[in-house]
Amino acid sequence: MKKILLLFIIFLLVPPVSGQIEIVKNGRATGRIVVDKISKTEYQAAELLNLSIKKITGTELPLADPWAKVKKGDIIIKSLPLSGSVVSSYGITEDGFILSSDSSVFRITGSNGSGTINGIVTLLENYFGIRYYAANSGEFPKRSELHLPSFINIIENPSFRYRQTQAYSIAEDSFYKVWHRLEEPGELFAASYWVHTFDRLLPSEKLGKTHPEYYSYINGMRRPGSASQWCLTNPDVFETVSKRIDSIFRANPGMKMISVSQNDGNFTNCQCENCKKDR
């Protein structure tokens, strides 16, 4: 009895060996992806993972429902709802994720937004050796065995709320877009108010007639126009635009960003006395 007790104590004191979770062996799937197929983002994350596994090994992992009994080799993809700006007690913010594992199961836990997708991208980069440099230009190293690390716990939150490049490769290669965690204006900006929005916010064609004082004063007169700018020292402009922005956000629930940005025109800034004074 004493021997058994001693062995049990030794077992408790020895830390677990940091091992690997096998998901593909000899080119055949041994793991599964556990995902709620109804959740659009989670399912996209699962598809991204399986597409990549197929490119590497030639096989795909079977999908299992979240209520199925957990098995060794399961990769569990799950999104958690944000409460405010942080998923309480998990420490992940919008688009953030946790990669965690025990000895037999690997979990990708994301917050609202692209959390689970970003988690998959990090997994592919860190553990499968995939690299993706530009549109249609990636490396998928061929393997017949795939493993994920056990006993890890990694939390990542994005430093920037919105990430965009002027590379239009997004349109031609969706993998490039998710790999670099890029987003498109229409996905995040209320009613796609993004860059050169002055004339959309205060349409000069309409307001130029009733409120010419909202627009640039140049060479002796107010000059409303789509390439003109606002008279930015006019307090009525600030009030009117604020109300307009409020109404745009109300009409676009769930959107959190808007771009208030000058029209695409050079040398059309207001030169009224007040604006000149403030410069």
Size of interface with Zn ion, in residues (CB under 5 A)? 4
Residue 197 Cβ, how far from Zn ion at the closest point, in Å?
19
Q: Which of 138, 147, 145 is nearest to 106 (CA)?
A: 147
Closer by beta carbon to Zn ion, 23 or else 231: 231
Using CB under 5 A, which of the segments 29-37, 43-51, 181-189, 265-273 binds Zn ion?
265-273
By beta-carbon proximity to Zn ion, the closer residue of 22 and 213 is 213
β-strands 221-222, 217-218: how paired? antiparallel
- Counted residue by residue, the chain has a size of 279
Amino acid at 138: G
Does 117 help bind Zn ion (rule: CB under 5 A)?
A: no
Give min distance, CB of 270 to Zn ion, in A.
Answer: 3
Strands 63-64 and 32-34, by their bridges, are: parallel
Rounded-to-integer distance, Cα 247 and Cα 241, Å: 10
Contact residue for Zn ion among 34, 46, 231, 237 (CB under 5 A): 231
Identity (one letter) of the amino acid at 132? Y
CB of 228 to Zn ion, least distance (A): 11
Give the span between the Cα atoms of 183 and 269, in whole angstroms: 31
Question: Smallest gap, in angstroms, from Cβ of residue 244 to Zn ion?
Answer: 19
Please state the closest distance from residue 229 (CB atom) to Zn ion, in A.
9
**Does residue 53 bind Zn ion (CB under 5 A)?**
no
* Contacting residue, 155, 218, 255, 272, with Zn ion by CB under 5 A: 272
Q: Which stretch binds Zn ion (CB under 5 A): 26-34, 107-115, 167-175, 223-231?
A: 223-231
CA distance 235 to 69: 63
Is the CB of 102 or the CB of 236 nearer to Zn ion? 236
Please tell me the distance from the alpha carbon of residue 60 to that of residue 188, in angstroms, as a whole number.
32
Beta bridge partners of 270: none
User: Which letter does DSSP use for residue 122 in this model?
Assistant: H
Nearer to Zn ion, 147 or 223 (CB): 223
| C-beta separation of 214 from 224 below 8 A | yes
**Beta strand extents in the chain (DSSP E only):** 20-25, 28-29, 32-34, 63-64, 74-79, 86-87, 92-93, 97-101, 105-110, 131-134, 137-139, 146-149, 153-156, 217-218, 221-222
Q: How far is the CB of 274 from Zn ion (least distance, A)?
A: 5
Looking up tokens 């793991």 gives 31
Closer residue to Zn ion, CB minimum distance, 136 or 274: 274
Q: Which stretch binds Zn ion (CB under 5 A): 16-24, 119-127, 170-178, 266-274?
A: 266-274
As measured in angstroms, the least distance from the Cβ of 231 to Zn ion is 3
Does 270 bind Zn ion (CB under 5 A)? Our answer is: yes
CA angle 244, 246, 247 (to 5 degrees): 65
The least distance separating Zn ion from the CB of residue 91, rounded to whole angstroms, comes to 47
| 202 contacts Zn ion (rule: CB under 5 A) | no
Residues of this chain that bind Zn ion (CB under 5 A):
231, 270, 272, 275
